[in-house]
């Protein structure tokens, strides 16, 4: 049987999140987590630990069949790969930042400036779209120090919380695009490897569904069951079980976590009591 080779970042938070996702998908690694590669003892997959900016090229060339990395690297490297699914973690934005004392009035500010970045392709597309003529200074790592040492007037970089910008006397002024972790694949997978990928995608989707939903149990008066069922439709319909106390039932359902917080007051108004919220480990629709 074929083995599907998956490339993930060799260290950092994206690597940790990727390994956690595989673990939640029930995939056990037999050779540790920080060697050059690791194999699974219970799923036909081999993991290659690589630099994230090398992953698109290796997937295009077939050295790896699939890879997990940030969308920003996929866009920047512009390789002939397929974005198979978004994964919902490692969210960030790619933004322009300037020294905090600058009186920023809009994108035209960047005309005739020098901008430091590790993402020259994405930046150039933004500049072209906005008819801005600027010099791009391509550097790798520590982009945020460029204005402070006189290398550039502004920077274009990944921003998560913005704290790094603040520590370097910068402020975010333009969000160019937003990025998250994605799974990419080689466009020429054979049928056997595609079947393995489909199995993996099924597991990933089950984990994603579970992370976005909660199992809810509550007690409610029988005359409120119909209205509560409208709030908690579940995957098909809620489960309603009679309680020993006459006129009351226990209602079990699944609800999106955001929807729950939006509807908690309505549930309480309808007489819901003893509300329990339980994490869902896997959710297959």
Q: What is the pLDDT of residue 194?
A: 97
Question: What's the whole-number mean pLDDT along residues 253-275?
Answer: 88
- Measured in whole angstroms, the distance separating CA 204 from the mean position of its chain's CA atoms is 12
- The string of pLDDT tens digits covering residues 45-68 is 999 999 999 999 999 999 999 999
Q: What is the pLDDT of residue 225?
A: 92
Task: Out of 136-140, 231-235, 247-251, pick the least confident.
Answer: 231-235
Q: What is the pLDDT of residue 31?
A: 60
Q: What is the pLDDT of residue 66?
A: 98
DSSP 3-state of 29: strand
Helix%, strand%, coil% for the chain, nearest 5: 35, 35, 35
12 dihedral zone (left: phi>0; alpha: psi -120 to 50; beta): left
Specify the higher pLDDT residue, 45 or 12: 45
The H-or-E segment that residue 55 falls in is helix 55-61
Q: For strands 213-221 and 248-256, give the pairing.
A: antiparallel
Instruction: Tell me the C-alpha distance between 192 and 198, whole Å.
Output: 10
> Does residue 34 surpass a pLDDT of 70?
no
Q: What is the pLDDT of residue 33?
A: 53
Q: What is the pLDDT of residue 67?
A: 98
> Does residue 144 surpass a pLDDT of 90?
yes
Q: What is the pLDDT of residue 282?
A: 81
Question: What's the whole-number mean pLDDT along residues 257-267?
Answer: 84
Mean model confidence pLDDT for the chain: 92
Q: Is 236 exposed, middle or buried (0-12, 13-18, 19+ CB in 10 A)?
A: exposed
> Does residue 123 surpass a pLDDT of 70?
yes
In the chain, count H helices and then E strands.
8, 15
> Does residue 75 surpass a pLDDT of 90?
yes
- The string of pLDDT tens digits covering residues 193-236 is 999 999 999 999 999 888 888 899 999 999 999 999 888 887 78
> Does residue 278 surpass a pLDDT of 60?
yes
pLDDT-derived band at 15, boundaries 50, 70, 90: very high
Please list the residues that pair with 171 across neighbouring strands.
98
Question: What's the whole-number mean pLDDT along residues 7-26?
Answer: 93
- The string of pLDDT tens digits covering residues 178-192 is 999 999 999 999 999
Q: Which are the contacts of 51, defined by CB distance < 8 A and separation ≥ 6?
A: 9, 10
Helices (H), 130-284: 163-167, 191-212, 225-231, 257-269
> Does residue 76 surpass a pLDDT of 90?
yes
Q: What whole-number percentage of the chain has pLDDT above 70?
A: 98
Q: Which domains does the chain have, with CATH numbers?
A: 4-90+181-189 (3.40.190.10), 92-179 (3.40.190.10), 213-279 (3.30.70.120)
CA atoms within 13 A on the CB side of 86: 9
Q: What is the pLDDT of residue 251?
A: 93
Q: Which are the contacts of 120, defined by CB distance < 8 A and separation ≥ 6?
A: 76, 136, 138
pLDDT-derived band at 285, boundaries 50, 70, 90: confident
């Amino acid at each position: 049987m074929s083995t599907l080779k998956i490339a993930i970042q060799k260290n950092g938070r994206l690597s940790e999140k990727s390994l956690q996702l595989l673990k939640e998908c029930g995939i056990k690694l037999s050779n540790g987590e920080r060697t050059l590669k690791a194999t699974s003892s219970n799923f036909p997959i081999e993991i290659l630990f690589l630099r994230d900016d090398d992953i698109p090229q290796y997937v295009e060339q077939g050295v790896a069949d699939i890879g997990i990395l940030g969308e920003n690297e996929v866009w920047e490297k512009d390789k002939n790969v397929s974005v198979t699914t978004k994964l919902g973690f490692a969210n960030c934005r790619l933004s322009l930042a300037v020294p905090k004392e600058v009186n920023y009035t809009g994108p035209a500010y960047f005309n005739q400036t020098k901008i430091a970045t590790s993402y020259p392709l994405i930046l150039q597309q933004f500049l072209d779209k906005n008819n801005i003529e600027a010099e791009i200074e391509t550097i790798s790592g520590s982009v945020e120090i460029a204005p402070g040492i006189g290398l550039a007037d502004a920077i274009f970089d990944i921003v998560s919380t913005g704290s790094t910008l603040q520590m370097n006397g910068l402020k975010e002024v333009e969000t160019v695009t937003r990025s998250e972790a994605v799974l990419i694949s080689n466009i020429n997978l054979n049928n056997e490897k595609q079947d393995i990928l489909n199995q993996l995608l099924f597991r990933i989707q089950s984990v994603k569904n579970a992370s976005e939903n909660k199992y809810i149990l509550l007690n409610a008066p029988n005359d409120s069951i119909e209205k509560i069922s409208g709030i908690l439709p579940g995957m098909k319909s809620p489960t309603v079980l009679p309680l020993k106390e006459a006129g009351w039932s226990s209602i079990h359902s699944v609800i999106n976590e955001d929807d729950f917080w939006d509807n908690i007051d309505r549930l309480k108004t309808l007489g819901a009591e003893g509300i329990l919220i339980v994490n869902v480990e896997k959710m297959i629709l």
